[in-house]
């Protein structure tokens, strides 16, 4: 058809499709209203230090991790963008926890779900995805998860959620009960309600983007510290100002990536720590001893950075508070992070880092093995 013959008007209204989207959004929003806000736990520090450390316990979400917030935001973003349709397959590239939460929402909406994940993903996470009705597609090379997810979405006529691109824009960073707003509301009656630091890891970069933007939007003096596992691309990329930096797949599931993901916003990060994997795992075991709570490895990475900041405040005689996240529960890692055999097979020695943590707990002193 020549240009003059092309119709000047085209109607693509889809009343049935629009009605399904509206029902789906209502279901996802109802899930948010049913879920009480997650707890803000006090980590026990000597009161004479004058510093408080808080853990935002994201393990209490219906799917057991911080990623429940992200999955809900990604589904709402995709539904409102017209990308997910009734009966369509939803696909994600994930290291596990995001896929667990996305499988939950996909089943809620009656949609098939496929998680493309590294074959090293913990078997507990695989079982959880399958429990929620998802299918796991495992790949040997973690760097191929993106292209494999795109391929499956194209072949099935479905939608690739692509958390690594959309995480930073799917969540309303100005408020709307995002994690940052929740933390500051819960701190309102505390001794030091405006923390000196918030400490988070980076997997997609979505959480750090949400918190960093919120701090600036609310004109708060709180600074943002991001912790990164050894070998990940985020830290060297941020240090060198190089978004093309590369690394290796992370042993700390949920954070650390072999590339700097599109959702990572480096310009709102005030400080970064590169944390040895052995230190992360020593820290989660220390958490269990102190609070009786088992958490995943990324919580240990958070704590390692938070403890260093607390120690700096104590050494400088500054009072105040620090906030970090308890990202998920340790039951997902019984055969890895809480297995001495697995740790030995990985060639990790937790002892020097455990000694650092014990010394810190007693004196507030932070002298530790050389960072990776």
Q: Write down the pLDDT at residue 369.
A: 55
pLDDT reported for residue 3: 62
Res. 371: pLDDT tops 60: no
Spatial distance between the Cα atoms of 164 and 262, rounded to a whole number of angstroms: 6
Which of 138, 167, 196 marks a domain boundary? Answer: 167
pLDDT band of residue 174 (cuts 50, 70, 90) is confident
- The residue with tokens 């890895």 is 336
pLDDT at position 2 is 55
Domain boundary among 167, 200, 232: 167
Is 241 within a domain? yes
**What number of CA atoms fall less than 13 Å from residue 222's CA on the CB side?**
27
What integer pLDDT is reported at residue 70 of this predicted model? 93
At residue 366, φ and ψ (nearest 5 deg) are: -125, 90
* Contact yes or no for 247/259 (Cβ under 8 A): yes
Residue 370 lies in a domain: no
Q: Determine the structural domain holding residue 94 and report its residue range.
A: 66-167
Same domain assignment for residues 139 and 191: no
CA angle 90, 93, 99 (to 5 degrees): 70
Q: At what angle do helices 206-217 and 179-187 cross, to 10 degrees?
A: 50
Give a yes or no: residue 3 inside a domain: no
Q: Are 209 and 178 in contact (CB under 8 A)?
A: no
CATH classification of the domain holding 106: 3.40.50.1100
Say if 18 falls within a structural domain: no
Q: Are 104 and 64 in contact (CB under 8 A)?
A: no
- 12 falls within a domain: no
When mean pLDDT is compared across 4-8, 36-40, 128-132, 191-195, the lowest value belongs to 4-8
Is residue 364 pLDDT above 50, yes or no?
Answer: yes
Tokens coding 1: 């058809």
289-329: pLDDT as tens digits: 999 999 999 999 999 999 999 999 999 999 999 999 999 99
Are residues 54 and 194 located together in one domain of the fold? Answer: yes
pLDDT for residue 368 is more than 70 = no
pLDDT tens string 106-115: 999 999 999 9
Same domain, 161 and 117: yes
Give a yes or no: residue 371 inside a domain.
no
Gap between the Cα atoms of 154 and 89, Å rounded:
10
213 lies in the same domain as 314: yes
Residues 232 and 142: their CA atoms lie apart, in Å, by 13
pLDDT of residue 4: 66
H/E run at residue 145: helix 145-156
- 53 located within any domain: yes
Are 238 and 321 contained in the same domain? Answer: yes
Query: What percentage of the chain reaches a pLDDT higher than 70?
Result: 97
What average pLDDT score do residues 80-92 get?
A: 97
Rounded CA-CA distance 155/149 in Å is 10
Say if residue 196 is in the same domain as residue 126. no
> Which position has the higher pLDDT, 133 or 7?
133
- Only one residue has tokens 């002193």, namely 365
Check residue 200 and report its DSSP letter. E
Cα 302 from Cα 228, distance rounded (Å): 9
Residues 6+ apart with CB under 8 A from 134: 99, 102, 103, 106, 107, 113, 114, 115
- Tally the domains of the chain: 2
- Residue percentage of the chain with pLDDT more than 90: 87
User: Are 339 and 300 in the same domain?
Assistant: yes
Of 167, 186, 216, the one marking the end of a domain is: 167
Query: Is 184 in the same domain as 271?
Result: yes
| pLDDT tens column, 283-298 | 999 999 999 999 999 9
Task: Identify whether 50 is part of a domain.
Answer: yes
Residues 163 and 46 in one domain: no
Tell which residue, 224, 231, 223, 345, has the closest CA to residue 280. 231
- 176-226 pLDDT, tens digit each: 768 999 999 999 999 999 999 999 999 999 999 999 999 999 999 999 999
CA atoms of 366 and 70, how far apart (whole Å): 34
φ and ψ at residue 175, rounded to 5 degrees: 160, -125
Q: Are residues 110 and 185 in the same domain?
A: no
Give the model's pLDDT for residue 9: 86
The model's pTM: 0.92
283 and 320 part of one domain: yes
Q: Which long-range contacts (CB under 8 A, 24 or more apart) does 13-17 make?
A: 17/85, 17/86
**Mean pLDDT, residues 50-71 taken together:** 95
The reply to whether 343 and 214 lie within a common domain is yes
pLDDT at 36 over 90: no
């Amino acid at each position: 058809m020549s240009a003059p013959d092309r119709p000047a008007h085209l109607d693509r209204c889809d009343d049935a499709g629009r009605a399904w989207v509206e029902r789906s959004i209502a279901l996802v929003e109802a899930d948010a209203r049913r879920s009480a806000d997650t707890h803000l736990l006090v980590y026990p520090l000597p009161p004479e230090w004058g510093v408080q450390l808080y853990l935002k316990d994201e393990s209490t979400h219906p799917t057991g991790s911080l990623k429940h917030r992200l999955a809900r935001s990604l589904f709402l973003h995709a539904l409102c963008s017209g990308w997910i349709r009734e009966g369509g397959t939803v696909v994600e590239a994930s290291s596990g926890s995001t896929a667990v939460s996305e499988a939950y929402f996909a089943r809620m909406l009656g949609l098939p779900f496929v998680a493309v994940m590294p074959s090293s993903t913990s078997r507990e996470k695989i079982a959880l995805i399958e429990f929620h009705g998802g299918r796991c597609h495992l790949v040997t090379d973690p760097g191929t998860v993106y292209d494999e997810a795109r391929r499956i979405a194209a072949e099935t006529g479905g939608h690739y959620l692509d958390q690594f691109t959309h995480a930073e824009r799917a969540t309303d960073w100005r408020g709307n009960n995002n994690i940052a707003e929740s933390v500051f509301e819960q701190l309102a009656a505390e001794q030091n309600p405006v923390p000196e630091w918030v400490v988070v890891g980076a997997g997609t970069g979505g959480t750090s983007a949400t918190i960093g933007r919120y701090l600036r939007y609310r004109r708060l003096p709180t600074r943002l510290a991001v912790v990164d596992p050894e070998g990940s691309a985020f830290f060297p990329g941020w240090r060198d100002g190089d978004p093309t930096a590369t690394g290796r797949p992370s042993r700390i599931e949920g954070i650390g990536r072999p590339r700097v993901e599109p959702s990572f916003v480096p310009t709102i990060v005030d400080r970064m720590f590169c944390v040895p994997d052995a230190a992360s795992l020593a820290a989660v075991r220390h958490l269990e001893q102190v609070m009786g709570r088992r958490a995943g490895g990324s919580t240990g990475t958070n704590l390692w950075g938070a403890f260093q900041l607390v120690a700096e405040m104590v050494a400088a005689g500054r009072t105040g508070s620090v906030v970090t996240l308890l990202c998920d529960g340790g039951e997902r890692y019984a055969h890895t992070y809480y297995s001495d055999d697995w740790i030995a097979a990985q060639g990790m020695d937790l002892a020097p880092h455990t000694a650092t943590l014990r010394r810190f707990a007693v004196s507030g002193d932070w002298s530790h093995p050389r960072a990776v």
